[in-house]
Structures are given as structure tokens and as C-alpha cells.
Structure 1
Amino acid sequence: MTAPYSSDEREKVVSKLPPALRQELKVRAAQLSVDIKDAVTEGIQAWRSTAEPLATVDTSGGTPFSTYIPTAVNAGFKADCTSRGLSYTQGIAQAIRLWLDTHPYSTNLRQKRPTGARRIIMGNQKGGVGKSTTAAGAAEALAEMGYRVCVVDFDAQCHLTQQLGLEMIGIDEPSIAKHMLGEAKGELVDLLVPIEAEAFGGRLFVLPGCKDAFLLDAKLATTRHVRVKETALEKALEPIEQDFDYIIIDCPPSLGYTMDTAIYYARTRDGEEAGTSGILIPVQAEDSSADAFDMLYDQIQDLVNDLDIDIALLGFIVNLYDARRGYVATSSLQNWKEIGDPPVVAVIPQMKDQLEAVRLKQPLLAYAPTCEQASAMRTIARSIA
């Protein structure tokens, strides 16, 4: 159906929205894979065609909000606001409220899949590129969308665990590493910790890290409990797979056996649609990230060839991007984009919100749900949802 306006002729509009309404709009748009500008435009059109007066939205405490609306639609909308005796801010708020009310989103997404939970690993041989923050942020965004998600801290440095304010597993206690090696007592599910934030609706869990993962490479090479090294992580996580829609692995900056188990875990299983599971690669807009990706790519190809499996490269996440760094940053970003396959699925700006969330030991999407970095995390989630 052709829209009754030219989508190319848009103008920037600025208004104010209460933070809760703005967050709800961002979340719902992400859930439904709709651009915010299109959601607002649809809401305005529905508002204009509604004859009955709509409930007043409390806009007190509103913060600046801007988007782009087709010029013709905005002109008519302004006229209608005047004729109804409403401010433009109230009209926008009512239109957004109307769109939200007429575009519900079911959070009952649990469907047991014969191939198990979708498995996403965050991998790059280089440290400090943001694997932990992007793993946590993508998991938070997926949980926000209604999926049940488990994010596994698979790095002995335990950054993800600490960033979320959780306790690391004790060196002598059961851990993911001990379960992989057949040395753990009890059930893996007992190690999961829920993230208590209203936005995640009890759907987000973390398997905390333990420093015993430093020993994993050496033990995988010698243990008698693991017949095939590459399957160790899969065997350990198998008991919880049907409890989740997604399992996200925060990988170590390593090219050893530990990383082999993670890459193998993300392979396309028999009967699984290509691209359903796979690897996201956090990078930065500088040369050392490219060198690290080359090494990771070689490791992936070795496993693909040796084990006759398919590994989907789902995309690059360019993290901590700051165009003010000039040519180094902008040219490097362009180089990532020019690769094309895999694509750049998100560019995360370097801003204070993530640093503050980490400092306060809070999930980013709970601490600053409307910030640009939170929006980028939702973009990542949409790319794999």
C-alpha cells in the first residue's frame, strides 16, 4: 500500500516527552523493528483520524525529543492541534501513546526449538574492545524485547560479572569451567543469577565468571573427561538450553582451546536455519582491531575446515566510536563497512553513560535506557532477533 505522503520529504520536529513515555516508545519500536520516526508518523496519522478526544498525557518533567516527520503530515498535525486546543507537545504525546496502545507486543515468546537456544558469542582476540559490555547490552535488549536470555561470563577476567555488580564464583566452587571438565558437583542451573530490573521482566540471567577459567586451556588439552575438546562448552550448557531463547557468551581474548569450544558452540546445527546462531565481533575503529580479527578469522576457518561445520559471522560491532579522533577513526569505520560480509550491525558511540553504569554496577538499559548507547544495544538485538 502506498503511503499518503512522500517519506522522503521529512522535517525535523522537536518536542518534549516524559522519560517513561520516551523509553516505552524506544523499546516498543525496537521490539517491532520499526523506526521511531515511522512509529511517530503512524501515531500522528491515527491521532488525526480519531474523532473522539483522547486522554491527556502528563508531560510534566518532559525532556527534549526530536524525530523526523513528513512535512505535509506535520503541517496538518499542527493545524489539528490548534483546532483541538492542544499544545504541539501534548499532541505528540497523545499520538505516541495512541501508537503504543494500538501496537502491543507479546512477551510470551517461549518456543522450544528442536535445535536448542539460539547461541551468540562475542569474540575477538583483542582485549578491551567491549566484548563484555556488548554481550551484556545485547542480552539486556533481548530480555527487554521479551526473550528469555542467559549471558555467560566465559572470561577468566570476569569483567561482565563485575560490571553487573555480581559476585565472582569462588575458585573452589562449581563453575562453568568445572562443569566442562566433569569436575563439578550439582546442577549448572544452580549457578544462574537473575538480573532484577523491571525492564527485563525476570527474563535475564547471568552465569557468573570464575578465575579458574585461566586453567581451562591446559586442562582441556589433557583431561580424560572430555572426549572431544570442542564440544565441552556445548555439553556443559545443554541442560539449560531449553530454558532460554538465547544464550550469549562473553568470550575471552584468546585463540586457545577455550575459544575453540565457544566457536564450535556457535556453529549452525543440523536442522538450524543459517544465521540463527553465530559470532558477533566487537571491534574499535583502529588498526589493531583489524589485526585481531584476522587472527580470529583464521581460527574460525581452521575449525570450519577441520570439523566440516558452518560458522555464521553475524556482524561487526564498532564500539567506542568517536569521530572527533579524525581520520584514524572515520577511515577505519569506513574500512569495516566496506568489508560488507559480515556487515557492521551497530556503531556504539563513546559516551559517559556506559562508564557510569559500570561504575555503579548497573545494567546499562536499566541505568540509562534512553541514551544513544542503549539504542545501539537494541540495534544489535534487532539484528539477531
Structure 2
Amino acid sequence: MTAPYSPGDREKVVSKLPSALRRELKVRAAQLGVDIKDAVTEGLSAWRDAGERPMVDTSGGGPFSTYIPTGLYAAFKDDCKSRGVSFAQGLAQAVRLWVDTHPATRRSPRPTGARRIVIGNQKGGVGKTSVAAGVAEALAEMGHRACVIDFDPQCHLSKQLGIPPIEIDQPSLAKHMLGEATDPLRNLLVPIEDGCFGGRLFVLPGCKDAFLLDAKLATSRHVRVKETALEKALEPLEQTFDYIVIDCPPSLGYSMDTALYYARTREGEEAGTSGIFIPVLAEDSSADAFDMLDEQIQDLSDDMDIDIEYLGFVVNMYDSRRGFVATSSLNAWKEIGDPDVVAVIHDQSEQRKAVRVKQPLLVYAPESEQAEAMRTIALRIAA
């Protein structure tokens, strides 16, 4: 029998876990909305009651720490000793047991369609593309069906993932928005084939014809209400996916208006369900850019009588070694309060290396600090 313990009295446990098992634990806990420390606590308790368990290959284990109840910790160490296994082996068996006995639940399509997440800031170079891709990857890893839209005519997202942009004379998202394409939009989707995404992650590649989208929207007779053009084009995808994530161009034009309108809170939809994340840098030019974006959002909201939810700032490529400018700017973003800073992504090499080899970040460096930041944002979205 498991010895009694107080859940509120916890102590830190430091050990090692195989990287694949550590990642599986994090993903499954996120899928089920369970805190890591609670998942490990349940696993240790179940392991003690289950008796002998199959050995787990712990070679190549990486650092792992969490907090478990003090009474359970002491009893677990005694059980490891009596069974003749190391603490690391016992912990690995307990985590394996918890993962195996807590399968991910199968998700049904949302009755109101996909939640719509816009990643936008008209300032270039703030990491919109890396955040859009990483968040979509993290949502798919958690078990959600996610589609990330390359809405930027520069097509950085497509290229970074090794997907050829759509040729300018072929059907594209822009052509669907303008009523110039007849083939189903879903025919343009490209799956990201990696086991951790489970067939749940798709990309709608970009096309250079989006450079002309603002001008064509302004003169198109097909599009009566310009702001609705993106919504009408993407509507066929909304029952297929749980989340549609849009990597926006660095623009204040009509194309950005269509993305903002698409992310509005719809009638009957809970506030915060959809909206915009704003990647920024810890420097003054990002603050100036946000002021202009904020003005555009407020003008569109007033003109169309809609609500557009600010889901938060993502402070990207942060490096405290840059001194006062970086640290004081980060504090300034945090002091805004509403929207709040959802994640601070440090300036490290993993993202750049992933781009270089044209792999998703969560495939190339799943244990990196940047990958964890993407999961933090995804958890905020899915909460």
C-alpha cells in the first residue's frame, strides 16, 4: 500500500529521464491539461502499487526535475532499493506507466469551427514566422488539428519548412480571396509529415501574388466587403481544424485588415477564443510599431463594430547581455499589463539552425528553450 503523504508538502526531485520519454510526458500532460508534477506523482503512486515493472532503457538520459510530496519521495526511494533498481530506473518506469495508462483523448470538431490565431505586427524582423510555425507545431503536438497559413508574399514560413511557395500562375489563397480560383482551397494544403504531429499539422503555402492583394482588394468588384475576403476563403477549412494560425505580412493595409477581421470574436464565441498575438523585440522600434498596429485595430473595431482580442505579447530574440536597452524594454512590455507578455523567447541558435535545415523547430530541437516557449504559448491558447 502507498504510504500517506501531504500533497501540499513537496520537495524537489532531480534525476534523469530519456529525452524521448521526457518529451512524451510533457506532451501527454499538456494534452490532458495535467501539471507535470501531478502526473509524476500519480505515476509514482501507481508504480508503487503495481509491483515489478518492465525495465526502461535509460541510456542517454537528460536532466529532469519536478516536485513530489515529501512522504511519497521517501517511500519511493525505499521501494526502489527493495526492488533492486536505481532511482532513475524507478522514475522512468513510473513515468512510462503514467503515460501508458493516460491515453490522449480523441478530439471532436468544435461546433463553432476552428479557433483563429493571428500572429501580426507590421514591423519586420520580429519573428512572426517562427512564432506562427512554432505555435502551430506545438498545438499539433498536443493533439489538436492545426493549419498554419503563410499569408506573407515573401513566403518565409513556407521556405523555412522546406515547402515550395505556390507558383504565381497557380491557384493560391489570394486568388481564392479575389474569387479567381475554383478548385477547393484544401487542395493547396501540405502536410508536415512527422510522427510527433500525428498527421494533424498542415501548411497553406504562400505565393508572391499576395504582393498585389491590397491593390486588388481595393478595386475588386467580386469582394463587396473587403474585410471579409479572408474569412470567406478560409471558411471551408474551419470544420477540418481546431486551430487556424496565420503568419501575417508586415503591413497595415487591407490584407492585415482581413486577418484582423478574421480573428474577431464572433457572435456566441467566448472572449479570448480567437485573436492576435503580437511578437515584439525588446527595443524602442517595436513599441512604435505596436502603437500603429493598435491604432489600426481600434479603427477597424470601431468601423466594423467588432471586438478583436489581444491574446498577448511575445517578446522574441531576447538577450539580456544587450544591457539596459533590452532589460528596460522587456520591463516596459510587462508593465503594459493588458495585453500581457505570454512568453519571452531568448535569442538562441536552435531556431536559426532549424530554419537552415528546413525542419520544424519542435522536430529539430524538441527539448530546446525556444521549443518550450512555443508550447507555453500553445498552452495559453488551448487553456
TM-score (norm 2): 0.94
Task: Answer yes or no: is the 8 Å Cα contact 2:9–2:70 preserved in 1.
Answer: no
- Give the 3-state SS of the residue equivalent to 2:239 in structure 1: helix
- Give the 3-state SS of the residue equivalent to 1:124 in structure 2: coil
2:51 equivalent in structure 1: 52
How far residue 157 of structure 1 moved from its aligned partner, in angstroms, is 1.0
Task: Answer yes or no: is the 8 Å Cα contact 2:31–2:104 preserved in 1.
Answer: yes
Per mean C-alpha deviation after superposition, the further-off stretch among 52-61 and 251-260 is 52-61
- Looking at structure 1, the residues matched to 243 and 200 of structure 2 have their Cα atoms a distance apart, in angstroms, of 11
1:362 equivalent in structure 2: 359
How far residue 6 of structure 1 moved from its aligned partner, in angstroms, is 5.8
- Looking at structure 2, the residues matched to 351 and 239 of structure 1 have their Cα atoms a distance apart, in angstroms, of 38
- Looking at structure 1, the residues matched to 234 and 77 of structure 2 have their Cα atoms a distance apart, in angstroms, of 56
How far residue 7 of structure 1 moved from its aligned partner, in angstroms, is 4.0
Identify if the C-alpha distance between structure 1 residues 51 and 238 changes in structure 2 by more than 3 Å, giving closer, same or farther. closer
- Give the 3-state SS of the residue equivalent to 1:25 in structure 2: helix
Kindly tell me the number of residue pairs found equivalent between the two proteins: 379
Identify if the C-alpha distance between structure 1 residues 103 and 337 changes in structure 2 by more than 3 Å, giving closer, same or farther. farther
- Looking at structure 1, the residues matched to 53 and 328 of structure 2 have their Cα atoms a distance apart, in angstroms, of 50
Identify if the C-alpha distance between structure 1 residues 51 and 155 changes in structure 2 by more than 3 Å, giving closer, same or farther. closer
Percent of residue pairs bearing the same amino acid type: 73
Question: Is 1:243 paired with 2:254?
Answer: no
2:322 equivalent in structure 1: 325
Task: Answer yes or no: is the 8 Å Cα contact 2:113–2:239 preserved in 1.
Answer: yes
Identify if the C-alpha distance between structure 1 residues 185 and 76 changes in structure 2 by more than 3 Å, giving closer, same or farther. same
How far residue 14 of structure 1 moved from its aligned partner, in angstroms, is 2.8
How far residue 371 of structure 1 moved from its aligned partner, in angstroms, is 1.6
How far residue 248 of structure 1 moved from its aligned partner, in angstroms, is 0.8
1:41 equivalent in structure 2: 41
Identify if the C-alpha distance between structure 1 residues 224 and 322 changes in structure 2 by more than 3 Å, giving closer, same or farther. same
1:190 equivalent in structure 2: 187
- Give the 3-state SS of the residue equivalent to 1:243 in structure 2: coil
Q: Deviations over 1:57-101 (max 9, x none)?
A: 111222232334444443333233222211111011112112212
- Looking at structure 2, the residues matched to 328 and 68 of structure 1 have their Cα atoms a distance apart, in angstroms, of 36
- Give the 3-state SS of the residue equivalent to 1:304 in structure 2: helix
- Looking at structure 2, the residues matched to 154 and 104 of structure 1 have their Cα atoms a distance apart, in angstroms, of 35
- Looking at structure 2, the residues matched to 350 and 70 of structure 1 have their Cα atoms a distance apart, in angstroms, of 36
Q: In structure 2, what residue type is equivalent to 1:5? A: S
1:313 equivalent in structure 2: 310
- Give the 3-state SS of the residue equivalent to 1:280 in structure 2: strand
Task: Answer yes or no: is the 8 Å Cα contact 2:175–2:181 preserved in 1.
Answer: yes
- Which of 105, 108, 111 is the equivalent residue of 2:109? 111
1:101 equivalent in structure 2: 100
How far residue 223 of structure 1 moved from its aligned partner, in angstroms, is 1.1
- Looking at structure 2, the residues matched to 84 and 94 of structure 1 have their Cα atoms a distance apart, in angstroms, of 12
- Which of 272, 277, 281 is the equivalent residue of 2:274? 277
Which residues of structure 2 form unaligned runs of 5+? none
Q: In structure 1, what residue type is equivalent to 2:100? A: D
- Give the 3-state SS of the residue equivalent to 2:169 in structure 1: coil
- Give the 3-state SS of the residue equivalent to 1:133 in structure 2: helix
Task: Answer yes or no: is the 8 Å Cα contact 2:109–2:241 preserved in 1.
Answer: no
2:88 equivalent in structure 1: 89
- Give the 3-state SS of the residue equivalent to 1:116 in structure 2: coil
- Looking at structure 1, the residues matched to 62 and 238 of structure 2 have their Cα atoms a distance apart, in angstroms, of 41
RMSD: 1.7
- Looking at structure 2, the residues matched to 366 and 101 of structure 1 have their Cα atoms a distance apart, in angstroms, of 22
- Looking at structure 2, the residues matched to 118 and 149 of structure 1 have their Cα atoms a distance apart, in angstroms, of 10
How far residue 372 of structure 1 moved from its aligned partner, in angstroms, is 1.5
- Looking at structure 2, the residues matched to 35 and 334 of structure 1 have their Cα atoms a distance apart, in angstroms, of 28
2:137 equivalent in structure 1: 140
Q: Deviations over 1:32-71 (max 9, x none)?
A: 23332332233223333x1521221111222232334444
- Give the 3-state SS of the residue equivalent to 1:128 in structure 2: coil
- Give the 3-state SS of the residue equivalent to 1:66 in structure 2: strand
Question: Is 1:78 paired with 2:113?
Answer: no
**Mapping for residues 1-385 of structure 1, pairs under 5 Å:** 4-5=5-6, 7=8, 9-11=10-12, 13-48=13-48, 50-106=49-105, 108-113=106-111, 115-385=112-382
TM-score (norm 1): 0.94
- Give the 3-state SS of the residue equivalent to 2:165 in structure 1: coil
Which residues of structure 1 form unaligned runs of 5+? none
